[in-house]
Amino acid sequence: MGAMDRRDFIKSTAASLAVSSLLVSCGKKEKGEPLVQKIGGEIDALGIKWDKSVCRFCGVGCGVLVGRKNGKVVATKGDPECWSNKGLNCIKGYFLSKILYGKDRLTTPLIRKNGKLVSATWDEALDLIAKKYEEILKRDGSDAVAMFGTGQWTIFEGYAAVKFMKAGLGFISKDGVGSNNIDPNARMCMASAVAAFMRTFQSDEPMGTYEDIEHADTFFTWGANMAEMHPVLFSRIIDTKLKNPDRVKIVDLGTQFTRVSEEADLYLEFKPQTDLAIANYFANYIIKNKLYDEDFVKDNLVFKKGETNIGYGLKDKGADIPKTAGKMEKISFDEYKKFVSTYTAKYTSKLSGVPVEKLREAAKLISDPNRKVCSYWTMGFNQHTRGTWVNHLVYNIHLLTGKIAKPGQGPFSLTGQPSACGTAREVGTFVHRLPADMVVKVAKHREIAAKIWKIPVEKINPKVGLHTIEMFRAIDNGQIKLLWTQVTNPFHSMPNLNRFTKAAKERDIFIIVSDVYPTRSTEVADVVLPSAMWVEKEGAYGNAERRTQHWNKIADSPGEARTEIWQMWEVAKRLKVDANRTVADIIYNYNPDNYYEEMWDEYRSFTLGIGKDLAPYNVIREEHGVCWPYVAKSKAVNGKKDFSDVWADIENTEPNGFVSVKWRYNARYDPYAAKFIKEHPERSFKDGIVFYKASKNDYRATVLAVPYEPPGESPDNEYPFWLCTGRVLEHWHTGTMTMRVPELRRAVPRAVVNLNEDDARKMGIKRGDLVRISSRRGSVVFPADIGGRSVPQKGLVFIPFFDETRMVNEITLDQYDPISKEPDYKKCAVKVEKV
Amino acid sequence: MVISSLVISSSPTAFDAVCDSIGKMPKIEIVEKQDSKLAIVLETDSTEEAVTIASEIQSLDGILNVELVSHFFEDEQKQEENQ
Ligand code: SF4
C-alpha cells in the first residue's frame, strides 16, 4: 500500500469506528462492528494483528483491542464487543502502549551491594532470595515473612502468590504452617466495601452490572468524582441523561465540587465524615414517610445494631480497638426505626452543613417508589475510619425501599484498580482469606482449599495474618524480617510514610521488589526483580461488574524482564522440602509450557456450585468478558448443581447452555435465586429476590443500625484544615506508569495543593505560591492551586498522591477502619502556611 | 503521523456552538453528528498533539465528555525507536 493509500485507509477505518461507537452510545445500534472476530484475530490490510485485552489503568475494566506489528504495540481501539465500554475508552487510552516503553524500564535483576543497587543475573538474585526465605523461615517461622501485592496482579499471578504464601511456605518453615501475611494494596482501596458486602449479604461484590446505568433514572454519587476517575461509566450516565433530560436526575454528595457536581441536578456538600449522618437521615425519611417496601422488608431483611465507639487503629497491634468492634446484634424493625429517628433533617443539617431543603429534596428522590435509583461510590466511602459502616448505611436505603438487584436499581461499589475484584477479592489475596470468599479461620474452608491444593490441611495456617498497616508496623517492630512486594509501591502510598520508610532502612528487614520501573519502593529494596507487564504476558482481570476478561501475550517484554509467576516459581524450585521434592513440585505442579489453563481449571474449581462460578478457560479466552456467576444449565454441561428445572424462566441464557448473570439474587436472571425459591415454597420472596448466600441470617440481608461517629483526627486550633488526598485525571496512583508518559508528565508534572478560594484569599495565597502543609507527622511544601478543576469546600485542602518528589503521605495519618482495616486517606488535620 | 478518532458529547443547547468551534479547529475532520454527539478523526504529528486537541475540546463550553475510539501510532513508535 502506498503512503497516501495507507493514510486514507487508516483515516477511513478510524472514522467508521468512531461513527459506529457514536451510534451505539446514542442507542441507535446495539453493538459495534466486531472488528476482531475471535481470539488471534486476522492481520489487517496494514499488517497489524489485533488481539483483545483490557485497559491497564482503572477498575472500569474497559476492553481494548491491541494492534501489534513486529512484537511492538502500534495501535489500540476500544473493544466494541466488550459490554463494559462498548467500543469507547477514556483519554487515558492514548497512553496505554506508552506505559510499556518508558526509557527507564527495569530490564535486569538488581542486588544491593555496599548500599548500591547493582545488576545481577537471575540466578544470583533468585539464589539469594531463596537463601533468605530458608534462613528466616527455619529460624523465625512463617510469621516473619510477608508479601504485599496488588489489585493489579492478574488473576493467575494473585492465585500463584496465595499458593506460594499460604500453601507453599509451610513446607519450609519451622512451625510447619504457611504464612497468611499476604495482603494486597486493595486493602487500601476496597476492604471496606468487602467487609460490608460480607456482613450484609455474606457474599462479596455487587448484585448488578454497569447495564444498570441504561435502566436507571436517578443516580446518587457519594464522594466519587466519576467524571475523572471512572470516565467511561460517567459518560454512560450522561448518555442516559441526554436521552431523557427531564426525567433523569443526578445527585452528587461530596466534600469538593467536581465535574460530577457540575453535571448534577443537585449537589450536597457535606462536612467530612457526616455522610454517616446523611445516609441515616435518608433511612429515617423513608421510614417516617412510610416509603419502605413492607413485603420486601418482611421477606428479605433482618435488622441488627452494631457495636459503637470502636476506635481508629491508631495504636500498634490495634490496641485501641475493642475486640467486639465487628459485633452485630439482632434488633426489631421497631428498634431500628427508633434508632434512625434521631437523624432528623434539622439535626443532620446542623452536623453536615447541608441545608434542610437540599437534604429533603435528595431524600425525596432516593425514596420515590416510582424512581429507579443507583448509588455509586468508591474511595470517599472506603477510605474512611467508618468505611464499613457507611457502605452498610447505603445498603440500608436500597434494602428498605427494595431498590436492589433489579435492572436500574441498586447500590454499586466501584473499584479503583483493574483487578481489585478479580484478583484481590475473588482469589482472596488477603491475610484472612482463601479463594471464593472462604476464610482461613474456618476449618471447613481450610479443608476445601487443602483438598484442591493437594496438601495436608495442617499446612494451612488458621491464624489470620497481619493486615497492611500492621504488616508495615511489624517491620518497624521487628517481627517481619522479609517482605516481597509485587506490582505496587507501598513506600510511596502508605499513610504516615516516614515511619515505614525509616523502618525499611534501619530495621533488619530483607525487601524484594518486583516492578517495571524504579520507584520509592525499589529505593529501599535489597533485591529488585524486573517484571513483565500488561500484554507482555497472558493474563486475566476481573472488573467491578464481576466481569472476567482474558488476554493473550501480545508484546515482548524488554531485556530480561520476566513474569511474577515465573519469579515465584523459580524461588519455589530452590526451596527444597526433602531429597526428592521442592516447594514448586507441590504448589506449581503444572506443565511449565502451558500452565495457564491448568491453573485456571484448578482455581475455578473453588468457585463452582456456590454462586461464584467462573467461566471455563476456553470461554474466557474466546469471549470479550463474561460476568460470574457463569452458570451451566445442567450438571452434565458443567458444575455441581443442576438448573434444568428452572432454566426456562431465566433471561439471557445462551445456546451453549450457560448464562452470564447480570443481576444476582434475582430469579429472572440468576438461576441460583430461581432454584432457591423453587426449593423453598414455604417462604415468599417479594419481586423474586432472595439473598441465597446469607445462610447465617435465614437468607436475609442485614440492615445495620450504626451512628455517626467523629473521625480519628479533626481540625483544631493548631491544625485547622482538613486534608483530603486522591488522584488527578492525568496520573494513576503513584505515577509509576503515567509519569513515564512524556505527554502526561508535561501536562501535570508535579502535585499541587488545591485550596478553596476564600481560604486562600484570607491567607493572602495566590496561585503558584509555595505553601507549607504540616500535620503532626511532618510537613511538605506544594505550590498552591486555586480555582482548578475541583473546588474544595472551605476549610479543606486537596493534594494528589502521585508525585514522588513531594509525597503527601508523609503527612497523612495511619488510622484505619477497625472492621475493614482500611486506612482513611481522606481526613486528617493540617495547617497551611505561605512559605 | 498519528491518527485517532473520538466521540464527543455535548449538552443539546450548546451543540451548534460546539460543532462550530470544533469545525474551525485544525487537524480535525467531523465525520458524524447526531443527538448532540460528534464523531471526529484527528490527524496529528504526535500523540501529544492529539491529546492537546482533545483537552482543548474538553474545555469548550457545553462539552460533557470526550472519549477515545481508536489510536494508530505506528510511525511515532518507529520515530521513538530511532531516537
Ligand atoms: S475508564 Fe478506566 S478502564 Fe476505561 S479506558 Fe479509562 S482508564 Fe481505562
Show residues of chain B in contact with A242, CB under 8 Å. 9, 12, 35-36, 64
What value does the CA radius of gyration of chain B take, rounded to a whole number of Å?
Answer: 13
Ligand 1, atom nearest to A90 Cα = 6
CB A233 within 8 A of CB A226: yes
Q: CA A700, CA A693: separation in Å to the nearest integer? A: 9
The catalytically annotated residue of A92, A132, A612, A827 is A92
The 10s digit of each residue's pLDDT in A79-115 is 988 989 989 999 889 988 888 888 899 999 999 999 9
Residue A39: pLDDT band (50, 70, 90) is very low
The catalytically annotated residue of A152, A202, A256, A417 is A417
To the nearest whole Å, the CA of A236 is away from the closest chain B CA by 10
Count of domains for chain B? 1
Within this chain, do residues A392 and A442 fall inside the same structural domain, yes or no? no
CB A162 within 8 A of CB A447: no
Residue A38: pLDDT band (50, 70, 90) is very low
Show residues of chain B in contact with A245, CB under 8 Å. 12
Q: Do B32 and A231 touch (CB under 8 A)?
A: no
Q: CA A785, CA A808: separation in Å to the nearest integer? A: 15
Tell me the CA distances in angstroms from A180 to A142, A144, A462, one per residue in order: 8, 10, 8
Q: Do A14 and B69 touch (CB under 8 A)?
A: yes
Q: Look up residue A350 and give its amino acid.
A: K
Q: What is the pTM of this model?
A: 0.95
Ligand 1, atom nearest to A78 Cα = 5
Cell numbers linked to B79: 520515530
The catalytically annotated residue of A379, A494, A568, A739 is A379
Burial class from Cβ neighbours inside 10 Å (0-12, 13-18, 19+) for residue A459 reads buried
Q: Do B64 and A74 touch (CB under 8 A)?
A: no
Output the domain CATH number for residue A741: 2.40.40.20
Look at residue A70 in the predicted model and tell me its pLDDT: 85
Regarding beta strands A770-775 and A828-834, do their DSSP bridges make them parallel or antiparallel, or are they unpaired? antiparallel
Looking at the predicted structure, is the pLDDT value of residue A369 above 80? Answer: yes
Q: Which of B38, B48, B70 to mutate to test the interface with A (most CBs of A within 10 A)?
A: B70
Within this chain, do residues A516 and A396 fall inside the same structural domain, yes or no? no
Helix (H, G, I), strand (E, B) or coil at A500: helix
Please say if A92 is a catalytic residue.
yes
Place of cell 502535585: A751
- Residue of A21, A52, A54, A55 with the most ligand 1 atoms within 8 Å of its CB, for mutation: A55
Look at residue A225 in the predicted model and tell me its pLDDT: 92
Could you give the dihedral angle defined by the CA atoms of residues A432, A436, A442 and A446, in that order, rounded to the nearest 10 degrees? -100
Helix (H, G, I), strand (E, B) or coil at A693: coil
Look at residue A36 in the predicted model and tell me its pLDDT: 41
Q: CA B32, CA A652: separation in Å to the nearest integer? A: 33
To the nearest whole Å, the CA of A549 is away from the closest chain B CA by 19
Answer whether residue A94 is part of any domain: no
Q: CA A814, CA A170: separation in Å to the nearest integer? A: 31
Q: Report the Cα B15 to chain-centroid distance in Å.
A: 16
Q: Which of A433, A552, A19 is nearest to A187 (CA)?
A: A433
Count of domains for chain A? 5
Q: CA B58, CA B63: separation in Å to the nearest integer? A: 6
Q: Look up residue A79 and give its amino acid.
A: D
Percent of chain A residues topping a pLDDT of 70: 99
pLDDT (average), residues A142-155? 96
Cell numbers linked to A385: 475510619
Within this chain, do residues A260 and A328 fall inside the same structural domain, yes or no? yes
**A355 in contact with B at a CB cutoff of 8 Å?**
no
CB A389 within 8 A of CB A425: no
Bridge partners for A542 per DSSP: A548
Bridge partners for A64 per DSSP: A53, A78
Look at residue A425 in the predicted model and tell me its pLDDT: 94
Answer whether residue A605 is part of any domain: no
For residue B31, the surrounding DSSP H or E stretch is strand B28-34
Q: Look up residue A316 and give its amino acid.
A: D
Burial class from Cβ neighbours inside 10 Å (0-12, 13-18, 19+) for residue A309 reads exposed
Ligand 1, atom nearest to A58 Cα = 2
Q: Do A22 and B34 touch (CB under 8 A)?
A: yes
CB B5 within 8 A of CB B54: no
Within this chain, do residues A409 and A425 fall inside the same structural domain, yes or no? no
Show residues of chain A in contact with B73, CB under 8 Å. 74-75, 97
Answer whether residue A361 is part of any domain: yes
Regarding beta strands A701-705 and A301-306, do their DSSP bridges make them parallel or antiparallel, or are they unpaired? parallel
Burial class from Cβ neighbours inside 10 Å (0-12, 13-18, 19+) for residue B61 reads exposed
- Residue of A21, A53, A60 with the most ligand 1 atoms within 8 Å of its CB, for mutation: A60
Within this chain, do residues A201 and A349 fall inside the same structural domain, yes or no? yes
Output the domain CATH number for residue A587: 3.40.50.740
Q: Which chain B residue lies closest to A79 (C-alpha atoms)?
A: B69
Please say if A337 is a catalytic residue.
no
Show residues of chain A in contact with B66, CB under 8 Å. 91
pLDDT (average), residues A679-708? 97
> Which of A4-8, A161-165, A566-570, B28-32 has the least mean pLDDT?
A4-8
Show residues of chain B in contact with A95, CB under 8 Å. 47
Answer whether residue A801 is part of any domain: yes
Longest dimension (CA), chain A: 78
Answer whether residue A651 is part of any domain: yes
Within this chain, do residues A242 and A346 fall inside the same structural domain, yes or no? yes
Provide residues with CB under 6 Å of ligand 1.
A 55, 57-58, 60-62, 85, 89-90, 92-93, 230-232
The residue range of the domain holding B30 is 2-82
Q: What are phi and psi of B29, to 5 degrees?
A: -120, 125
Q: Report the Cα A438 to chain-centroid distance in Å.
A: 18
Please say if A739 is a catalytic residue.
no
Within this chain, do residues A427 and A500 fall inside the same structural domain, yes or no? yes
Within this chain, do residues A123 and A248 fall inside the same structural domain, yes or no? no
Answer whether residue A820 is part of any domain: no
A610 CB-near residues (< 8 Å, 6+ apart): A436
Look at residue A667 in the predicted model and tell me its pLDDT: 98
A666 CB-near residues (< 8 Å, 6+ apart): A207, A405, A406, A673, A687, A688, A689
Place of cell 486534608: A723
- From the list A88, A101, A242, the residue facing B67 with the nearest CB is A88
Output the domain CATH number for residue B71: 3.30.70.920
Look at residue A120 in the predicted model and tell me its pLDDT: 98
**A604 in contact with B at a CB cutoff of 8 Å?**
no
Q: What is the DSSP letter of A638?
A: S
The residue range of the domain holding A668 is 626-703
Looking at the predicted structure, is the pLDDT value of residue A503 above 60? Answer: yes
Answer whether residue A72 is part of any domain: no
Please say if A198 is a catalytic residue.
no
pLDDT (average), residues A482-496? 94
Side by side, which strands form the sheet with A328-331? A328-331, A301-306, A701-705
To the nearest whole Å, the CA of A722 is away from the closest chain B CA by 29
Q: CA A97, CA B22: separation in Å to the nearest integer? A: 27
The 10s digit of each residue's pLDDT in A401-440 is 999 999 999 999 999 889 999 999 999 999 999 999 999 9
Q: Which of A10, A72, A73 to mutate to test the interface with B (most CBs of B within 10 A)?
A: A10
Which segments of A669-820 are extended strands (E)? 701-705, 721-726, 753-755, 770-775, 778-786, 791-792, 796-800
Last residue of a domain, one of A599, A614, A641: A599
Please say if A188 is a catalytic residue.
no
Residue A804: pLDDT band (50, 70, 90) is confident
Helix (H, G, I), strand (E, B) or coil at A830: strand
- From the list A14, A90, A238, the residue facing B5 with the nearest CB is A14
The catalytically annotated residue of A93, A416, A639, A726 is A416
Q: CA A27, CA A429: separation in Å to the nearest integer? A: 39
Distance A753 CA to ligand 1 centre (A): 25
CA angle A679, A684, A685 (to 5 degrees): 90
Within this chain, do residues A424 and A519 fall inside the same structural domain, yes or no? yes
Look at residue A613 in the predicted model and tell me its pLDDT: 96
Within this chain, do residues A342 and A299 fall inside the same structural domain, yes or no? yes
Q: What is the DSSP letter of A768?
A: T
Could you tell me the sign of the dihedral formed by the alpha carbons of A15, A20, A23, A28, in that order?
A: positive
Percent of chain A residues topping a pLDDT of 90: 85
A380 CB-near residues (< 8 Å, 6+ apart): A222, A223, A224, A254, A255, A275, A826
Answer whether residue A61 is part of any domain: no
The 10s digit of each residue's pLDDT in A247-288 is 999 999 999 999 999 999 999 999 999 999 999 999 999 999
Cell numbers linked to A835: 512559605
Please say if A417 is a catalytic residue.
yes
